[in-house]
Chain A
Amino acid sequence: MAYVATRGGEQAMRHAEQFFRTLNGPVDTACIRLIQRHMPYLIDRIMGEASLYAPELAALALVQTGGDLYEAVLLLRAYRSTQPRLAYAIPIESEQTLTVRRISAAFQDVPGGQMLGPTLDYSHRLLQTELLDPTQAPPPRVPMPEADTAAPRHYQPVTTWQRLNGLLDAAPEHPPCDPVDIPDVTRQPVTFPAPRAQRLQLLARADTGGLLTLGYAGMNGYGITHPTVNELCLAYADVYLRNPLTGTPFSAGRVRISQAEIVTPFRGGEAQLGLGFAATMGWNEVKVIAAAMLDLEMDGPDPHPAHQEAFVLTHTEAVEASGFCIHYKLPHYVTFQSNLDSLRRAQTQASHRVPATEQNE
């Protein structure tokens, strides 16, 4: 009977978790370090979606969940929600970041230059199967040749030139504000239309795959944007804090960030370029390109239903979407029984009804 089964259920749950861990093999510190060292882009993606810059914890989350990305993001977010907020970083301008990759598809060359930086964009996508052969010596490490002249550390944004030349509206003036006043999606519920700060936060922590799906639909004809990548940047950003005693700013560390700007002409009925923007923690180019494109699309006069703000921002929430999807595994037999009751009643009603044609005769 039920009260015995209660204990049985708890034991079954413990065994189910044990089975999962046994199947996935033992986990140790070395394995976590290895993942952190060799899968930085995966770590970046998880940190971005979790809104928590902690490579070591992200690697741990990944190992602990056997590589289930949504579970790993949930672990990090749940951990994040227990952490106190110690300080607010000082805002920085994008030209203050230490940029290692900056490209613009809008012009052949831009002030500061096109800088490919680290990328697999122009690699040949051939599997290096020789790496699988344990008898072959590993390929020698080829040192990076030093450049004759060092690349710039900072770049003038492409939009600076475009604004000077009357192609883009002036950037809106932002009076200095207390960071405490910035609406924070992790502490305040979002209602739509969302403040710009919340929109950018939600895009920054959105599911990469979800943004890609909706963004791609827009690029593929279900939208009005032919996106031009005005600027794409991968950079290190210093996190500047103020010394609580002296007030002197200092860098508490560096985080990897990605930023993308998308432009398209004639948006909002104006003979101007429209500008979409997105940024995220970690290096994740496909995410920021899709997100910046959606940022622009959401502001359109009559966006496709799949590109309306509430639709995009609600449905690309990685933890909520994945959690709700898998909750359908839970028993629903009471609700189903209730539906069956209504269904059977409608069937009875139908069998009692006189068909319309007979009524007319």
Chain B
Amino acid sequence: MRRRLLKAVALPGYQVPYASRELPIARGWGTGGLQVTLSLVGPCDCIKVIDQGADDSVNAANLRRFIARMTGVETTTDALQATLIQSRHRIPEERLREGQILVLQVPSPEPLLPVQPDLAKAREMHADADYALMWLSLYEQLVQYGTFTTGAEYPVLVHGRYLMSPSPIPRWDTPMLHQAAHVTLLAAGREKRLYAVPPYTDVYPLEFEDVHFRVESQQGRVCYQTGARHKLMNELPQPDGQVRYQLSDSGYATKLWQHQQGDTVTIGATYYDDAGNFYHRGYLKPDTDPA
């Protein structure tokens, strides 16, 4: 497992096949991430497990309970304290630092699947760096709907070479992978593939020169519990047809709330500032399309 991880780190974005043993957790429920986490945790580690951004989601709680039971490792909900974060579908809002490991659970590792369901042929396309069908599908989205229609799991090009599925993280999180200080390890248990984004690696979403990748709009959304803005929000439908918003990152929300209660907590710098600017200036291009 560790040898495969080294290979993955050496070939950013390349899908490395691995045995993927059966675990006492159902397939498709994070077994890939779990194998990576279990192969890496040591006695000095402190782990955080999140699902959709939340530490208290049942599946996250269950995986955390399992990892702690098997390894005796310390657990936390604070992204700054964690040495290893296993996550399904989110990256924490606070910037991760050098030495931290982010493990993303991957349901479907092959980004070419929507355009090429034959995995043997998709492998050849990766070998040839032949991503024409992906560009074509982006173009077709524009022609048909006037905008890119991909939601989460937006395909990215890693280190100028391999097209990669960043796992179903929202587009809000996609830029966080670019030139990141931490290492991101992505593993699919069912599909038996793992891949990596080493620290300080280029990660760019597929976009056109004149029509740009855009993150989910958080404009006008205010967290009803913390008053936070310009972070990824959960949309909570209300019985009266209205809606209210809540921070998706529960560990970050907890710290904001504690801070507001007068507790002493350390809140780290975030990827997006309070005005919604991403910390790598210029990475997200200004909006140029007509809407």
Contacts and interface: CB of A to CB of B under 8 A. Distances in A.
Interface of A: 1-3, 5-6, 8-10, 12-13, 74-75, 77-78, 80-81, 186-193, 310, 319-320, 322-327, 330-343, 345-346, 348-350, 352-353
Nearest to A16: B58
B89 A310 contact: no
A189 B20 contact: yes
A163 to B, nearest CB: 33
Contact of A338 (B24, B147, B171, B250): B171
Interface stretch (B5-13, B37-45, B48-56): B48-56
21 contacts: A1-B257, A2-B56, A3-B55, A6-B61, A13-B65, A193-B120, A323-B27, A324-B28, A324-B107, A325-B28, A333-B234, A334-B90, A335-B168, A337-B234, A338-B151, A338-B216, A339-B152, A341-B151, A346-B145, A348-B291, A350-B146
Contacts of B93: none
B89 A334 contact: yes
Nearest to A314: B119
Given A77-B22, A339-B152, A349-B291, A2 B146 contact: no
Contact of A78 (B23, B53, B146): B23
B291 A334 contact: no
Q: Which 8 A-B pairs have the closest CB atoms?
A: A323-B27, A349-B146, A339-B151, A327-B28, A324-B28, A189-B17, A338-B151, A2-B250
B26 A340 contact: no
A319 B27 contact: yes
Given A2-B251, A3-B77, A13-B61, A334 B152 contact: yes
A159 B77 CA distance: 64
B225 interface: yes
Contacts of B277: none
Given A339-B152, A345-B291, A331 B57 contact: yes
Contacts of B29: 323, 327, 330
Given A1-B225, A189-B20, A346-B146, 15 more contacts: A3-B55, A3-B56, A9-B57, A10-B61, A74-B26, A319-B22, A319-B27, A322-B26, A323-B28, A324-B27, A334-B152, A335-B152, A336-B151, A338-B171, A341-B151
B204 interface: no
Contact of B58 (A12, A310, A334, A336): A12
A267 B146 CA distance: 50
B152 A333 contact: no
Contacts of A334: 52-53, 89-90, 152, 168-170, 232, 234, 248
B197 to A, nearest CB: 20
A12 B61 CA distance: 10
A9 B22 contact: no
Contacts of A336: 151
A342 B24 contact: no
B290 to A, nearest CB: 7
A299 B31 CA distance: 33
B253 interface: yes
Interface string B236-263: 0000000000001011011001000000
A190 to B, nearest CB: 8
A332 B57 CA distance: 11
Given A74-B26, A324-B28, A333 B52 contact: yes
B248 A353 contact: no
Nearest to A321: B27
A100 B48 CA distance: 56
Nearest to A335: B152
Nearest to B253: A2
Contacts of A345: 147, 217, 291
Contact of B55 (A6, A77, A326, A343): A6
Nearest to B234: A333
Given A323-B26, A331-B51, A350 B145 contact: yes
Nearest to B24: A78
Contacts of A3: 55-56, 77, 254
Which of A6, A186, A190, A332 has most chain B Cβ within 10 Å? Answer: A6
A188 B151 CA distance: 33
A326 to B, nearest CB: 6
B71 interface: no
A349 B27 contact: no
A352 B54 CA distance: 37
Contacts of A327: 26-29, 107
B137 interface: no
Nearest to A319: B27
A204 B261 CA distance: 60
B235 interface: yes
Interface string B73-89: 00001000000000011
A330 B150 CA distance: 21
Contact of B151 (A192, A342, A350): A342
A80 B170 contact: no
Nearest to A14: B65
Contacts of B123: 191
B275 interface: no
A142 B109 CA distance: 59
Nearest to A5: B56
Nearest to B146: A349
Contact of A2 (B52, B54, B58, B120): B54
Contacts of A189: 17-20, 192-193
B142 to A, nearest CB: 10
A337 B235 CA distance: 7
